[in-house]
Structure formats: C-alpha cells, structure tokens
Amino acid sequence: MKRSMLFTAVAVATTMSASTIAQEAPAYENWVGGFAQYYSPDSDKPEPLGYLDDGKTLGGELGFRFDPKWGIRFELSRIFLDMQGPNRPGFGDDGIMLGADAMYFLDNDAAYLFGGLREQSIEDSYRMMSYGVGKHWEVSESVRVITELAGYRDFGQGYNEYSAKLGLAYIFGQTPAAPVRKDTDNDGVYDAVDRCPNSPAETQVDATGCSVDLDNDGVLNGVDQCPNTPAGVKVSANGCEIKDADKDGVLDINDSCPNTPAGTKVNAKGCAINLDKDGDGVLDSKDKCLDTPMTDKVDADGCSVLLEKEVSIALNVLFANNSSEIENPSADKIVEFVDFMKRYGNTDVVIEGHSSAVGSAEYNQYLSQKRADAVKTMLINKYGIEASRLSAIGYGETQLKDTSNTAEANKINRRIEVKVTAKVKTTATR
C-alpha cells in the first residue's frame, strides 16, 4: 500500500468536517466505542531494514467529558501491518498500541483537538507523542460516529506516523438537558441576559432587552444624556430638555440674552430689538422723548429742538389772596406747558414769580418766591418734570407790567412766567 492513500483519506475526512452544520455541544457526555484505523508507519521502521508498510488497526476507546470543553480518552488497539522489500522476514507483522489523550472540544462541538501518548509494541517497543483532530457525529441521543485524523512522533528514533480513524461510540452516563431559554416579554432577548424582562409588546429593544429609547423622546439610549425626560418635552440632540426660561420664544441653548423681560420683542438670539416708536431716528433705548411729533427735528437724545431764541410763556396760575396754594393745577395753559416741556426734553426753564405793588416790598418778595416754588413743586410731583430742569425765582414787585395803582394793574402784575433758557442751533422742523 502506498502512503498516498492515507493523504487521500485525510483530505476526504477534512472536507466532510468543514461542510457539516455545527451542532450545539452537550454539557457533559461519556462514551465507549470501537474503531478501525488506516495506519501508516514510518518507512524506515524498523531499523535497519525498514520493511513495514501501511496497514490497519482495530481497537476500542473509553472517553470521559468533564465539561463542554475538556475530556480525556483511553485507547487500546491491535495493529496489523504489511511488509515490503526483499529483506522482509514474513508476510506481515502485528502488535499492540495503548494510548491516552487529552481532548479539547471547539464551540458547538464543531470538532475536537487532542494530544497525548502512545505505547506501541511491534517486535520492539516504541513510545510516541500523539496529536490530531476529530469529530463526534451525532446519530441519536446515545450514538455517535467517530472520525479522526492523527499523527505520531517517536521520542527515540524520531519516526513520524499517521492514521485515519472511523468508529462508533455509545454515550453513557447522564447528559444534562440543554437549558430552556425563556423570553418572557417576547422581545427576542432571552431572560438570562434581558435587563428589562417586562418590555411592553412591540417595543423596539437593544441587545440588553431594554427599549432603545426609554423615554420616547426620539433620542436613542446610547446617546441620551437625560434618559428620563418627561413625555412631550422638546429635547436637543443629547436627549435633554430644551428650555425657554424667559419665555421670549428663543430656546435657552440659542438665547444670548436669557433674562429678557416679559413682553419684550427679541431677535433670533433672544435679545431685545431696539425699536423707534416715534420714528425720529433715535432708538427707544436712547430716546429721552419717546413721543416726539413726526414733524419735529430732534437732537441726539430724540427730543425736539427749538430755533435759536428764548421762549417766554405766561402761565395763568391762580392763588388765593396772600397764599401760595395753587387753585387750578390742571388748567389748560399748565397742561400745554407740560406738553411743551416733554416735547423739548433738553430745555431748562426758569419759573418767575411776580407780585403787585400792594403791601410792603419785603413781603411781596417773599410771597412771589413761595408761589414760584409752589409751581416748581407742582410740575415735579404732578407732571413728572425732572427737578434738574426747573429753577424758581421770586422777583416781588421789581418787574411791574403796569405801574398804575389800579385793581386791574395789580391783577396783571400778580403773575407766574416761565422762560426757556436753552439755545439750539437747528431748525424746528424736519
């Protein structure tokens, strides 16, 4: 027989193993079996004649599997070898081979690898290392077909030998049943690894059995930095709530002015839009006169400007006899003057108090000052004119308009006048 026959057998067995569908490995199993082997000894054996040729072996084995990965096997076989060459002593030779191997089973019992020792007796004794690959093919719960390819290395003379095995094994002992894989919530993830075993029906889950979007905000759990966002809340790309603290319609993440007062009109950045309500070209934020008429020329403060002249206005303010108490604080002339003051916000005025010549000059001076002060106080407290724009001077009887000592002349002389003291350099209209 030729050694090429062994290589052919190896190739066939390898092809069969690679094309087989992997079976799920049992937790434990023990076996006893019988087998036949095609055996190829080293062509130099025995020395010096080297007359042994390929043959066969018949034997049995006993195996114990400790867990899904590891097992051990003991083997005893009878060897029948042919002889070749002119110096062969007979028509054949036989012997005994005893061995033991440690076995490592691959995932899903796809195959097993083994290595161990062999004691061989053919005329002489040989001690060898064994190695190889094999597979147990399941026929039924208790029967397996054994296929195996093996190599042997002699420790003494360095012989290299090979074999191909075909056998039948019987499984004995208790083989634990495969664990039942439960999926309580039918989400496709077994309970053993399901971290959320009560997921609602039809919920999309990840590999751990948990919803891919626990808070249903549209952001997957893997990138959701706020996985418990309340339902209906608008969130950003990281799954966290998008807020608008000042309620201006611009979300906080985009709001450059997050504390805008309520009702303020804002731009896209959440900051107040500078308006010009009276259309005078001065933004409201800088306009000191917010209601300037459209026809008025205004200064940098948004206030109407006057021509370059001094304006004098006579107010018909009524006082009780010998009193500084104003009797007509809402008179039309007073209201018109207040409107004037608000329209021309950069002007200052002098409030002049005048008296008639009746009585002593000292008393008339005192009374005119008190009346001027009373008008100033009224303009500040009742109409909101800034105190810094007002001054009050009492002239007594020093500036009489009518020097005749009559009742009508006295009435004309008892008066309040205001004079605008500011000078401007632009025209009054636009």
Q: Which two tokens stand for residue 316?
A: 């018909």
Residues 46, 77: contact at Cβ < 8 Å?
A: no
Class of CATH domain 4-172: mainly beta
Q: Which two tokens stand for residue 244?
A: 């608008």
Q: Would you state the pLDDT for residue 308?
A: 60
Burial (CB count <10 Å: 0-12, 13-18, 19+), residue 292: buried
Q: 406: which DSSP letter?
A: S
Tell me how long the chain is: 430
For residue 252, the SS3 value is: helix
Distance CA 301, CA 283 (A): 9
- Which strand ranges, in their side-by-side order, compose the sheet holding 390-396? 311-315, 415-420, 349-354, 390-396
Residues 136, 146: contact at Cβ < 8 Å?
A: yes
Q: Phi then psi for 414, rounded to 5 degrees?
A: -80, 100
Residue type, 408: E
Class of CATH domain 311-420: alpha beta
Domain with CATH 2.40.160.20 in the chain: 4-172
pTM greater than 0.85 (yes/no)? no
Pairing type for strands 349-354 and 390-396 reads parallel
Q: Would you state the pLDDT for residue 31?
A: 95
Greatest Cα-to-Cα distance within the chain, rounded to the nearest angstrom: 178
Distance CA 429, CA 305 (A): 8
Is omega for the bond preceding 46 within 30 degrees of 0, making it cis?
yes
Domain with CATH 3.30.1330.60 in the chain: 311-420
Q: Would you state the pLDDT for residue 245?
A: 67
Q: Phi then psi for 109, rounded to 5 degrees?
A: 55, 30
**Averaged pLDDT, groups of 10, the chain, 430 residues long:** 40 39 51 95 79 88 92 95 66 83 93 95 90 94 94 92 95 63 76 76 71 70 71 71 71 72 72 71 75 79 71 72 82 86 82 84 88 90 91 87 82 76 51
